[in-house]
Amino acid sequence: MPSIPIYQVDAFTDHVFGGNPAAVCPLDTWLDDDVMQHIAMENNLAETAFIVPGGEAGADYGLRWFTPTIEVDLCGHATLASAYVVFHYLRPDLADVSFSSLSGRLGVSRSGSILTLDFPARPPTPVDEPANFRSVLNIQPEAVLRPRPDCGKTVAVLTDAEAVREFVPNFDYIANMPGDGLIVTAPGDDQEIDFVSRYFAPHAGIPEDPVTGSAHCVSVPYWSERLGKTSLKARQISRRGGELDCELRDGRVFMGGKGVLYLEGTIKV
C-alpha cells in the first residue's frame, strides 16, 4: 500500500488551533486527480495542498489545492502551509521558494518566523447585485464589487466591523451566487487594523473559511485605493481568526504571517 506523507499546518497564526488549517502532501509525481480529490475529502479541511518538485517554468515545486469538493485556482493559507513544510522539512537550506500553479508563479520568502506570500492582485470593480441580495442576506452594503462581472469573489463593503461580526450568512443563497463566494468587509475598529473581513465559500464545501489569502488578493487592492496607502494590516474575524500584514506593490499582493505545525503523519492509499 503506497504511503504519502502528510503535514497539517495552522497558517496565519503563531499558535495551534488558530488561523486556518491546511494539509500538505509532498509527492514525487502527481497522483490521479480523483485520488487527490478523495484525499482532500477525507481530510475535510478547507484545503489540502499537493506539491511535487520541479514545477513549470523553473519553479521549485508544482502546487495544486483541493477543497473537500473541488480543485481551486488559488489558495493563500495552503500555500503558506506548503512553504512552511518546504522550509522546515524538505529544503531547510532555502530562504525563498517558488511554486507553479493554476494562478501562475507564486513565491514565498521567509524572514525569521514570518512567511510572506507573493500573489496576484485581483482588484474588484462595482457589479450589479444578485437578485434579492440585500433582503436575503439582511445587509445594506455601501458597495458590491467583483474582479470581473461573471467570476471572482463578490465583495460586500459594510459600514463597520461590528456589522461584519454580526453578519449571519445564508449558505444556500451564497452557494448559488455568481462568482467564487462572498467576502464581507469593513474598516477596522482599532488603530492597529486597517480593515476586517469574513469569507464564505459554501459552493466549494467551505461554509466559512477561517483566514483566506486569496480573498485578500481582492480586498487589499480595494482598501489600498480607499485608504490611500499600500501597506495594510488586515484581520479576518472568523471564529479562529487570523491577521495578515499586506502590501500592494507592482500589481501583486504580498501577505505575511506565521505558521505552526499541528500534525505529521502518513496516508495509506
> Known catalytic residues?
47
* Dihedral of the alpha carbons of 82, 88, 89, 93, in degrees to the nearest 10: 110
Question: Percentage helix, strand, coil, to 5, in the chain?
Answer: 25, 40, 35
Long-range interactions of 101-107: CB distance < 8 A, separation 24+: 101/62, 101/63, 101/64, 101/65, 101/73, 101/74, 102/64, 102/71, 102/72, 102/73, 102/74, 103/73, 103/74, 105/57, 105/59, 106/63, 106/79
Nine-digit cell string for 224: 489600498
The CA angle 164-170-175, to the nearest 5 degrees, is 110
Separation between Cα atoms, residue 47 and residue 34, nearest integer Å: 15
Cα distance between residue 117 and residue 129, in whole Å: 31
Single out the residue of 135, 130, 209 nearest to residue 176, CA to CA. 130
Integer CA distances (angstroms), 101 to 65, 106, 148, in order: 9, 7, 21
- Burial category of 189 from C-beta neighbours within 10 Å (exposed 0-12, middle 13-18, buried 19 and up): middle
